Amino acid sequence: MLPDIDQLSLAEQVAQMIVVRASGFLFDHQIQYPDWEPPLAKLQHWVQDLGVGGVILLGASAGELAIRTQQLQNWAKIPLLIAADIEEGVGQRFAGATWFPPPMALSTIFRGNEKLGLHYAEQLGAITAKESLAIGLNWVLAPVMDVNNNPDNPVINVRAFGETPHEVSQLGCAFIKGAKTYPVLTTAKHFPGHGDTSIDSHLDLPTIPHSANRLASVELPPFAAAIASDVDTVMSAHLIIQSWDAELPATLSGKIITGQLRQKLGFSGLITTDALVMGAIANRYGANQAPVMAVEAGADILLMPVDPVGAIQAVCEAVESDRIPRSRIRESVLRIWQAKTKTSQSRVNPPNLIYDLAQNDALTIATEILQHSQIIHGSLPLSSEKLINDIKLYNHSATHSHNLIVVDNLLKCDFLDHLAPAIALPAQMGYTTQIIDCHTQTSPTLLSKPSTLLQMFIRGNPFRGSAKLTQTSEDLFKKLLIDGNLQALLLYGSPYILQQFIPFLPANIPCVFSYGQMPASQDTALRTLFGK
């Protein structure tokens, strides 16, 4: 039961506009990002005493998260919005749930069969919503409605549903349709469009130089479509949009948040900032000034402010000094109440954790998307005869076939362990495995060995800073080709990297590309390669 807004103090109202970051793990010694995730006592203080309106979670298994979300709701006097960035399904962030390939995989299917692509997008939304509720999440920070028309985009990349407004609009709205069958909130992001940038806003502030006409024809249609599909929330982007506001990023711009999103597009739902701790904002604006500017601009939710306590105080002071009208705060809290009313149904009839996570139908959908979105080059499968000939040619035993795996950073690799198919399946066939990453100093010359199966995991990701090949990866690929040692290539992640490789791959060298990097993707790609 939500209290009467007018019975709350100004500080309590402002606190409802704050969503803090926390670890999904239950114990302080498990916290993985101490700069962003408070210890238990501080988190409890924020929720129980300050009365923050919501929490965004990262880390832990799905089972642990179910305990964490219940703990948070028990602390709260007013029910919380509990969110997660789960664009690829709940399993993307919380182990044990269903992990789908990135949204761009659906564009490959959609181009060949629109009906099938839309079906999968709707299923992605429905399964994500269902599994979210099973572990206590009620706010899905998806779908991404950015049009990724810049191959060098380091942060959106395969997180987008496609490269055209039509693809993104259709598939994003199908996701919303599926998710809306459950009482969760959906989020169109990152308004007005983060697809044509070459800078990661987690690190710095990108600029979009396009004209208003170009924005209207490319960037805005997916957001207009999402609004027409009754999306609950729109998330702002930390971008300078020169044709709209040359001074302030969209998140802090009244011309954009109120003028464009509220007034021109007619969005009446909840507007949230992207994380205010991101470099684009935190490095340029004060920890407490940015929240005030975001509220002035028209934001209802202040996501991950650098200093939640300071942000509440700063916004209250701005109201008391008449910089921000008191009515502006009330309007936001009213929208938050409307959102919390929608999610209240999930608290009355909570799903059953055991029966709603990673069920066979969900896993089947994920596998079908992987299979239908694979891109294949060369002659497949890699036959037993070909493997035997390679061994004879180089006078090596089967145990000297080489499985070379390239990742960005093995220490931050949540899709690779000793049981991962990328390691286990080749091992069953006699391959020896070697893994290289940013910590590896080995020369590409030393890594060029006969009968090498090369597996590369490369995609744009927040904080990676680039969606491109590393120089080591490029040199390694070229060296294997020149020496005639490349037996086959498996690429997981970015289709833009595949486009760079294909012109150099001889027709007799098989290649399998998968948008996904998780174990199911590895299993599907390797079984395609070996015909298993």
**Within a domain: 284:** yes
What is the predicted pLDDT for the residue at 154? 76
Query: Are 92 and 86 in contact, with CB atoms under 8 Å apart?
Result: yes
Does the structure show a pLDDT above 60 at 78? yes
Cα-based angle 232, 146, 308 (whole degrees, multiple of 5): 55
Please give the angle made by the CA atoms of 96, 374 and 195, to the nearest 5 degrees. 80
Same domain, 386 and 284: no
- How does pLDDT run across 108-125, given as a tens digit for each residue? 999 999 999 999 999 999
Domain limit, last residue, from 331, 360, 389: 360
Is residue 181 domain-shared with residue 61, that is, in the same domain? yes
User: pTM to 2 decimals?
Assistant: 0.94
* φ/ψ of residue 492, rounded to 5: -115, 120
Considering only 70-79, 127-136, 151-160, which range has the smallest mean pLDDT? Answer: 151-160
Catalytic: which of 200, 245, 274, 356? Answer: 274
349 and 424 co-located in one domain = no
Spatial contact of 339 and 79, defined as CB atoms under 8 Å apart: no
- 202: annotated active-site residue: yes
Closest CA to 46 of 66, 72, 23, 68: 72
Instruction: Report the percent of the chain where pLDDT is more than 90.
Output: 80
11 belongs to a structural domain = no
Domain that holds residue 481: 374-530
Residues 338 and 422 in one domain: no
Radius of gyration of the chain (CA): 24
* Residues in the chain, total: 532
302 CB-side CA count, 13 A: 33
Q: Answer yes or no: do 196 and 86 share one domain.
A: yes
- Please check whether residue 338 lies inside any domain of the structure: yes
Same domain, 335 and 386: no
Query: Residue 398 — very low, low, confident or very high, per pLDDT cuts 50/70/90?
Result: very low
What is the average per-residue pLDDT within 437-453? 86
Q: How confident is the model at residue 397 (pLDDT cuts 50, 70, 90)?
A: very low
- Identify which of 432, 436, 428 has the alpha carbon closest to the alpha carbon of residue 450: 432
Are 142 and 259 part of one and the same domain? yes
Domain boundary among 304, 334, 360: 360
Q: What's the pLDDT at 29?
A: 97
Residue reference for tokens 């599926």: 178
Identify whether 427 is part of a domain.
Answer: yes
Same domain, 384 and 520: yes
Q: Is residue 421 part of a domain?
A: yes
* Rounded-to-integer distance, Cα 224 and Cα 231, Å: 10
CATH number of the domain at 317, please.
Answer: 3.20.20.300
User: Could you tell me where the DSSP H helices lie in 353-467?
Assistant: 353-356, 360-373, 384-393, 421-428, 444-447
Instruction: Look at residues 409, 472, 423, 410 and name the one whose alpha carbon lies nearest to residue 445.
Output: 472
With beta carbons less than 8 A apart as the criterion, state whether 89 and 100 touch.
yes
The pLDDT value recorded for residue 352 is: 62
DSSP class of residue 437 equals -
Which residues touch 242 (CB under 8 Å, ≥6 apart)? 207, 208, 209, 210
Domain with 454 in it: what CATH number?
Answer: 3.40.50.10870
For residue 310, give Cα distances in angstroms to 11, 172, 272, 273, 306. Answer: 11, 36, 19, 17, 9
The pLDDT assigned to 470 comes to 77
**Residue 392's pLDDT is what?**
47
Could you tell me the two tokens for 322? 């008449």
- Is residue 9 domain-resident? no
Does 249 fall in a domain?
yes
Span 189-204, mean pLDDT? 81
- Which of the residue ranges 165-174, 347-356, 398-407 has the most confident prediction, judged by mean pLDDT? 165-174
Residues 352 and 380 in one domain: no
Instruction: Take residue 36 and report the two structure tokens written for it.
Output: 């962003």
Question: What pLDDT, on a 0 to 100 scale, did the predictor assign at position 439?
Answer: 83
* Contact between 512 and 525 (Cβ < 8 Å): yes
More confidently predicted of 442 and 53: 53
* pLDDT (tens digit per residue) in 149-159: 988 887 899 99
Question: What is the average per-residue pLDDT within 277-287?
Answer: 87
Count of domains in the chain? 2
Give me 421's structure tokens. Answer: 């198919």
Read off the DSSP letter of residue 256: I
Residues 72 and 209 grouped into a single domain: yes
DSSP string, 40-70: HHHHHIIIIII--SEEEEE-SBHHHHHHHHH
Confidence of residue 183 (pLDDT cuts 50, 70, 90): very high
The span from the first CA to the last CA of the chain, in angstroms, equals: 55
Domain membership flag for residue 10: no
Could you say which of 330, 360, 390 is where a domain stops?
360
From 146, 196, 200, 202, active-site residue:
202
- Same domain, yes or no: 412 and 474: yes
Query: What is the residue type of 432?
Result: T
Which of 317, 338, 202 is closest to 271 using CA atoms?
A: 338
Question: What does DSSP assign to residue 100?
Answer: P
438/319 same-domain check: no
